Chains A and B, each alone.
Chain A
Amino acid sequence: MTALVEAPLTSIPPQRKKTLPGWALGMIAMAGAIVLLSTTSYLTGVPQLTSSGTIQTAVRLALPILLAGLGGLWAERAGVVNIGLEGMMIMGTWGAAWAGYQWGPWAALIAAAVFGALGGLLHAIATVTFGVNHIVSGVAINLLGAGLTKYLSTLIFFPISHNPRESPAVPKFDTYSAGGLSDWLKTLEDEQRVAISDVAGILRGLITGVSPLTMLAIVFVIGSYLVLWRTRFGLRLRSCGENPAAAESLGVNVYLYKYAAVVMSGALAGVGGAALVLNPGNPGYLEGQTNGRGFIGLAAMIFGNWRPGGLLGGAALFGYADGLQLRSGGKTFLALVYGAVLLLAVIVVWQLIRRRWFAAAAGIVAAGLLYGVYYTVDEVPSELTAYAPHLVTLVVLAVASQRLRMPAADGVVYRRG
């Protein structure tokens, strides 16, 4: 549960203390997460928490969230709120299935990106050119995306699959494993030794059965970071999200940048949809498949404070929670509640050291409540576990909303003067 990456806010000038670079914080957060998980797994006696199978499922489920979140990142960094991610993702799932069953997984990816980008283009036309409220346009695109795919799948998939809600089976990517290393880690994992087996399980989950899509997603995250924060193009794009009038006065074509960002956003969301269709656990397109994942992606992005590293952490957390309950059910999920208590305990100690009594007291109360839940309940009902990401997002927003920093002109309709 410690996957919260506090990336440094480079845009806030001096008075801040010098913080560690983002990658170092990421490493610390990851190490902390592993320590927390293995401690929890040891104390609760639930080895599935760090089993390679769980991690593998978690990675698969985190991909769509990560890609949708990246889409949100691009749009919002350029100042366009994209609630329509869900609709673009749905269009992506349809595009992926349509191209995928005919020409294979790579075609699926490209078609999904194109379909998502079309949704993004629509959002850009409405919000940038016509100055429609971003939320309104997003809601409309969600309606439109759902309707369009339903219509198209009855029209095109029904004659083949004989089910208007489903596509024919889509071929998947071959997966790759780091052969010898994976086997060695497996022996380590099976020995069930404290800490070592946990680390081995997590590592094995990460390097076994890796689909090209996973690698591509990682490339996208790093690429987005490099493009948005390390190039001139990215600087200009972000300036459109911070202060479009100033950007315009410096000769940046704000409309063009916003268009580029939102189309890119749609394409990424579409690829996120493809990640659902190409998940080995699914036959192909299924109506209602996205099930709010576009929104979760948005939540992961907010969780990550509008930064790629943080977004990765958010997606990992949500994907992990999802994968855990899917693979091992509510009993195991309860161990996560225990993990949350441990995490809170650490936070309380930290707050006490910093002499922030109120925060510490709130932490103690929350930890007490959660421990009460852990102690009294046998199993988290499966109906509720699926919505853990929503709850975590609400809690994070409630606790940290003052520290999160969104682009200054995010969601503001900009009109060239």
Chain B
Amino acid sequence: MGKVRGNLLPPALAILFSALLCGIALVVSGANPLTAFGAMVSQVGEGTTAVDIVNSTGVYYIAALAVAIGFQMNLFNIGVEGQYRVAAVVAAVFGGSVALPPGIHALAIILVAAVAGALWAAIPAILKVTRGVNEVISTIMMNGLALGLAAYLIRDDVFGELRGNNIRTPEIPSSGWVPGISLGGSGTIFGLVFLAAALGIGYWVMMNRTRFGFELRASGESSTAAAAGGVSAKKMVLVAMLLSGAIAGLVSMPEILGRDHTYNLNFPAGIGFSGIAVALLGRNHPGGIAFGALLWAFLDKSGLALDNVGVSREIVTIMQGAIVLSVVVAYEVVRRYELAAEQRRVGRQLGTVEPVGGAA
């Protein structure tokens, strides 16, 4: 029972708290929060919103998995943001400039994206392992460099081409596309959403059924104990970071291979940071992350309806921020509470004196 309470109660509380907070913000700014939330819920049934939510969930899911792998061993890969961007440009340029048979072409693009993401993540990983550079700072710097590199690579005198007001990489020929499931008027589900699901299953198997996953989690729980057990900390950092980067490289694949077929100036930004939030919300568990990704996608896409009822849709971003912050606080509070409860229980069982208040 404690497990359910420890894992489900905090996010529920956090969401309620954030909704309440945003509700108050809406009331203060003169809007009716009930109409606003009602509009968001009813928006799901409108047009392509439901399908958009599914597609977006897949994208956030992949990003969050990439973050979660690092989190499992207390490695903060803040650089997912940069890794997926570099991977997207490199893969789009590669896909647009080679001719391969259908199927193999798409597969090759996906592979290139994963390798590009892993290589971009390898720089901070190597710096950390050989020079002891903190990965948070180095990945933040790599994010900046990724923006610059991407902007440079799509210049029309480098790899890009000018189309009206937009600059983009050469379009990937149809042999490299991944078909989706068309639902007529309500949109098309990206084929690669299933890649996200497969990655989730792979992640679960790796974490719970392989030696590597065990060593990863052990390093996260206690690096000294893991080292005593013969786990090489450096190797784990390197592998976890590369794996995280490779998965991060896949983040934009559903959109590029399923809809855009090119990297252009309208490329979505910030998915890496959303991925961090989603991974936190889901506590690095593949099921939890799926729920978090769904919530994020719902807030994103349904938020568009808010403009119709005269509410600024940016309230959704506030809500997302509030959810992350309150969920981590809630997890921490529950953890402390359970720790204290555990100590009391052990104390009773051992028959020692009743612990003094505040002993936790």
A contact set with B: CB distance below 8 Å:
81, 83, 122, 126, 130-133, 135-137, 139-148, 150-151, 154-155, 164, 292, 295, 298-299, 302, 381, 383-384, 386-387, 389-391, 393-394, 397-398, 401-402
Contact = CB atoms under 8 A, between A and B. Distances in A.
A298 B137 contact: yes
Contact of A299 (B29, B141, B322): B141
Interface string B126-159: 0100011110111011111101110110010000
A285 B339 CA distance: 46
18 contacts: A83-B136, A126-B325, A126-B328, A131-B336, A132-B332, A135-B76, A137-B325, A139-B277, A143-B277, A144-B324, A164-B312, A295-B141, A383-B152, A384-B149, A389-B144, A394-B142, A398-B127, A401-B127
Given A151-B314, A394-B127, A133 B328 contact: yes
A398 B145 contact: no
B315 interface: yes
Interface of B: 25, 29, 76, 78, 123, 127, 131-134, 136-138, 140-145, 147-149, 151-152, 155, 273, 276-277, 280, 312, 314-322, 324-325, 328-329, 332-333, 336
B78 to A, nearest CB: 7
Nearest to A393: B141
B312 A151 contact: yes
B285 to A, nearest CB: 16
Given A148-B318, A397-B138, 14 more contacts: A83-B140, A137-B325, A139-B273, A146-B317, A151-B25, A151-B312, A154-B314, A384-B152, A390-B142, A393-B141, A394-B127, A394-B142, A397-B127, A398-B133
Contacts of B25: 151
B321 A155 contact: no
Contacts of B147: 387
Contact of B328 (A140, A150, A386): A140
A389 B147 CA distance: 13
A148 B152 contact: no
A132 B336 CA distance: 11
Contacts of B336: 131
Nearest to B327: A140
Given A299-B141, A383-B148, A401-B131, A155 B29 contact: yes
Nearest to B136: A135
Given A137-B328, A299-B137, A402 B131 contact: yes
Nearest to A123: B325
Contacts of B144: 292, 295, 387, 389-390
Which interface residue of B277, B314, B329 has the most chain A CB atoms within 10 A? B314
Contacts of B317: 143, 146-148, 150-151
